[in-house]
């Protein structure tokens, strides 16, 4: 991947998928880091530089908020390198990323297979038709920054979705991608199951 040369590619022996494995450093400089964190918190545009490094947009003219949780953040502690492995099947399902060497036992924004959950698939944050694994690494970096801030503050700055059938039914439109990362439309995947589970939970 030219965008992340530190992540060499290993193809599957069968099929069209493969792995990119190596170091990711989401934050390399503390310059305007608090402004970057505020932009992530408010879902504003940020710049993803080569190597999946996150930077505050140089052209940004917006005013930035001072959040209480920022007082617990030591910017220099967010300059950290992670050992990442990203797998992509080559199909319509989302790529999957595992991070080695950190304690993920709290299970926050994680899938049961040990991969991270950088966005809700139904939000169309990543589309297999138009996006690449390089685009996905930007979401991984945002997840890693949120994870680091969470360790110091207890706040998941990028925001959180509910994970219940009722939440899925209220949030996801039938023609949106399903939350499960299958790449299928919600109505053709988990929608009926969520309807049954939600009905059972209301009884």
pTM summary value = 0.90
Q: Residue 159 falls within a domain, yes or no?
A: no
Residues 85 and 175 in one domain: no
Same domain for 106 and 128: yes
Compute CA distances 1 → 62, 84, 129, whole Å: 33, 14, 18
Q: How far apart, in whole angstroms, are the C-alpha atoms of residue 188 and residue 130?
A: 22
Residue 194 lies in a domain: yes
The total domain count for the chain is 2
- Please indicate, yes or no, whether residues 107 and 189 belong to a single structural domain of this protein: no
Angle at 58 between CA 54 and CA 142, to 5 degrees: 20
Which residues span the domain enclosing 178? 165-202
> Which tokens is 51 given?
């190597």
pLDDT in tens, 62-120: 899 999 999 999 999 999 999 999 999 988 889 999 999 887 766 689 998 899 999 98
Summarize the confidence of residues 131-140 as an average pLDDT: 94
Residues 178 and 118 placed together within one structural domain of the fold: no
* 180-194 confidence digits (pLDDT tens): 988 899 999 999 999
Beta bridge partners of residue 86, listed in sequence order:
20, 97
């Amino acid at each position: 991947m030219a965008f992340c040369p530190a992540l060499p590619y290993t193809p599957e022996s069968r099929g069209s998928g493969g792995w990119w494995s190596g170091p990711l450093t989401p934050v390399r400089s503390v310059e305007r880091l608090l402004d970057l964190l505020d932009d992530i918190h408010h879902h504003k545009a940020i710049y993803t530089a080569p190597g999946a490094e996150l930077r505050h947009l140089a052209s940004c003219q917006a005013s930035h908020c001072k959040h209480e949780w920022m007082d617990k953040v030591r910017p220099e502690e967010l300059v950290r390198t992670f050992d990442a492995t990203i797998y992509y099947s080559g199909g319509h399902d989302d790529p999957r990323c595992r991070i080695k060497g950190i304690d993920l036992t709290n299970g926050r924004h994680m899938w049961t297979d040990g991969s991270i959950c950088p966005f809700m698939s139904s939000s169309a944050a990543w589309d297999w038709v138009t996006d690449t694994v390089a685009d996905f690494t930007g979401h991984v970096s945002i997840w890693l920054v949120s994870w680091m801030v969470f360790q110091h503050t207890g706040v998941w700055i990028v925001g959180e979705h509910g994970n219940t059938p009722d939440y899925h039914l209220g949030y996801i439109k039938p023609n949106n991608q399903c939350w499960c990362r299958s790449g299928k439309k919600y109505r053709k995947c988990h929608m009926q199951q969520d309807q049954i589970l939600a009905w059972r939970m209301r009884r």
